Structure 1
Amino acid sequence: MRIVSGKYGGRSLKAVPGDATRPTTDKVKEAIFNMIGPYFDGGRSLDLYAGSGGLSIEGVSRGIDEAVLVDRQYAAIKTINANIAVTKEPEHFQVMKTSAESAISRLQGSAPFDVFYFDPPYAKQTIVNDVAQLIEHGLVAKNAVLVAETDQNADLPEAISGFKQVKERDYGITVITIYEYEG
């Protein structure tokens, strides 16, 4: 695993040890950023199921100003912090060891987010509920983009609480669905 492009491009990233997370492959990561970017002029991102932190770190490498990474597993948080250290710019990242639901509640009142990465455990996919909570708590910026990485059984709807599906691509068992916020 590595940072594919941008100012940190080519640097290696660690995966979370064990079977509790599955890192996004470099091929899928490159495809995601080609669909939503590929580069950014600032903004904030939120990853509620950060795992190794690869998607958020890639986003900052490509121009996102600040990334908030959330995971509830100690091993994931340890890996995220090690991967952030590779960037040598920890000031661009905020790491929270908590559940997605708790993070959303704690983030209420902060600046809204422009990019959301959703890569929850496939069997515990709660994207629709999480998005409703983000909107209710005022955490979604105008024209925000949502990236959902699921398996083929997720069957996400065409629209989620003001987000409209604009792209969907299959990569083996992984499905990437891109939504844009219409408010």
Structure 2
Amino acid sequence: MSLRIYGNRLLKTLSGEQTRPTAARVREAVFNVWQGSISGCRWLDLCAGAGTMSAEALCRGAVEVVAMEQSPRALAIIRENLQRVKQGDQTVEILRGDLMARLKSLQGRQFDRMYFDPPYASSLYQPVLAAIAQYELLAPDGEIAVEHRRDRLTIEPIPTLEILRERRYSNTTVTFIGLSDESLRELQKIK
């Protein structure tokens, strides 16, 4: 199976229901919200599936992409898709394994844009967002886009993060999260 992304590029996807590619109109909407901030950014794709969102980020000028996925079958497709669209000095890193352990391995790095799209029935939402905050993976002006079912996301407050906005597309919602004002003030004091 295949799908098209930015620039009319064709990507492969896994057959069956092991991964659920982000719908074309949701992908387009996310990149419209982030228009002007992808070029030159550091991108983290959590539960990358076929790497579609990472490929879009590369096509739109991200300089660094890190894609995380647990499925061994998906890794080969992610690698092929990202190598197909990668240009020049863009860097791509593909990490396999337990998401929580892999997030800890990224401690000390920061990302400008993150896309988090786990299986909708997953219990990963809260622990992953808490880990992103704990390991300080989000750059000061960074944002996380969390894809979820419209009626199924409850995020317990995380002191350093706040919900910035939500966009609804049929049964899918994307919640955009950034650093809280208090966290940003603390960062300014450190500088």
Shorter-chain TM-score above 0.5: yes
Kept in 1, the 8 Å contact 2:59–2:86? The answer is: no
3-state DSSP class of the match of 1:2?
A: strand
Structure 1 runs of 4+ with >6 Å offset: none
Determine the structure 1 residue equivalent to 2:130: 132
* Mapped contact 2:64–2:91 kept (Cα < 8 A): yes
TM-score (norm 2): 0.84
- Show the counterpart of 2:93: 94
Cα distance in structure 2, aligned partners of 1:172 and 1:160: 27
Q: 1:10 to 1:158 in 2, by over 3 A?
A: farther
Unmatched 5+ stretches in structure 1: none
1:130-182, CA deviations, whole angstroms, 9 ceiling, x for partnerless residues? 12112222322112101011112323348544222222122222111112223
What is the correspondence of 1:1-183 to structure 2 with a 5 Å cutoff? 1-4=3-6, 9-89=7-87, 91-109=90-108, 111-157=109-155, 160-182=158-180, 183=183
1:88 Cα deviation (Å)? 4.5
Q: 1:141 and 1:88, CA in 2 relative to 1: closer, same or farther beyond 3 A?
A: closer
Count of aligned pairs? 178
CA contact (8 A) 1:46 1:69 kept: yes
C-alpha RMSD over aligned residues: 1.9
Aligned equivalents of 1:106, 1:11: Cα separation in 2: 32
Cα pair distance change 1:71/1:28, threshold 3 Å: same
More relative contact order, 1 or 2 (CA 8 Å, 6+ apart): 1
Distance 1:143 1:29 in 2: 21
Higher alpha-carbon Rg: 2
Q: Distance in 1 between matches of 2:36 and 2:149?
A: 23
Report the identity percentage.
32
Q: 2 CA distance for matches of 1:154 and 1:167?
A: 16
In the superposition, relative to structure 1, how do residues 47 and 101 fare at CA in structure 2: closer, same or farther (>3 Å)?
same
Task: Kindly state the Cα deviation for residue 40 of structure 1 after the two structures are TM-superposed.
Answer: 2.4
Maintained 8 Å contact 1:164/1:181:
yes
State the SS of the aligned residue for 1:170.
strand
**Is the CA contact 1:122–1:151 (under 8 Å) kept in the aligned structure 2?**
yes
Quote the Cα distance in structure 2 between the aligned partners of 1:141 and 1:71.
22
Structure-1-length-normalised TM-score: 0.88
Unaligned runs of 5+ residues in structure 2 are: 184-191
Instruction: Give, in angstroms, the shift of residue 41 of structure 1.
Output: 3.6
Which position in structure 1 is the counterpart of 2:187? none
